[in-house]
Amino acid sequence: MKQNFMLVALFALIVFNVSGNNEVQPSEDIEPSKEEVRQVLQNRLIERLPKGVGLVIFPGHPSPVQTIKWSSDNVHLATYSEFSGRGDVAKNFVRIWNSKTGALIYGIGSRVEIKDFAWAPDGKRIAITHHTNEVWVADLSEVYELEQKMEKLSSDDLSFITLFYGEKPLTELTQEQQKKLNKFPAVIKKSLTETLYDNWLGEQPNPLRS
């Protein structure tokens, strides 16, 4: 009996020593790397950012957009689509938008297949190639000037301008309306005068100048 007790005690001592040797010893403190610190800070920052996303929705093309290209100033973008219309309807469109507001500021329609288009380095011109051997270069300086002038107009001025693009757009001006038009900057007056002429001819008001 005493011998059995001694064997059990010896076995317990061996097990204790073996299990003690398998314990994980505490290691020295390890400094986190710069990348680990950067990642932690970035994650904390992202957690504190607003959940919403600043999103601008553009009115769209008459058909699915196939190509998008940003201007060098990151303010404007150009989009391209094909439209399978009938008769003399322009079948290819390049449209230029203000990426901050979603406003359509310029557009080019062609009955000839447009192959490609590219921004000039200064962001003020855009070149368009066709299925033929022609290359069009549109200078957008006046368009951008018009855009800047429009942004500075009062709400009363904008209300007056919407008359040119209403369901029943203006085709002729009263004396009071003509006086008001004369007070606009030259680039706006020119655009509205062209629109007035389009309306008089019975053509659909051109939203690209609105």
pLDDT confidence of 174, banded at 50, 70, 90?
very high
Q: In what order do the strands lie in the sheet with 114-119?
A: 114-119, 125-130, 135-139
- Quickly count: other Cβ atoms within 10 Å of residue 5's Cβ: 9
* CA proximity to 107, closest of 4, 210, 2, 24: 210
> What digits encode the pLDDT tens for the residues 28-79?
566 777 777 777 777 766 666 666 666 777 777 777 888 899 998 888 999 8
**Beta carbons within 8 Å of 22's beta carbon, 6+ residues apart:** none
pLDDT at 205 over 60: no
Model pTM score? 0.60
Closest listed residue to residue 183, CA positions, set 165, 160, 199: 160
| Domain boundaries of the chain, sorted by first residue | 53-140, 153-210
Residue located via tokens 């939203």: 207
Q: What backbone phi and psi angles, to 5 degrees, belong to 50? A: -60, 145
- Residue 1 CA to residue 6 CA, distance in Å, equals 9
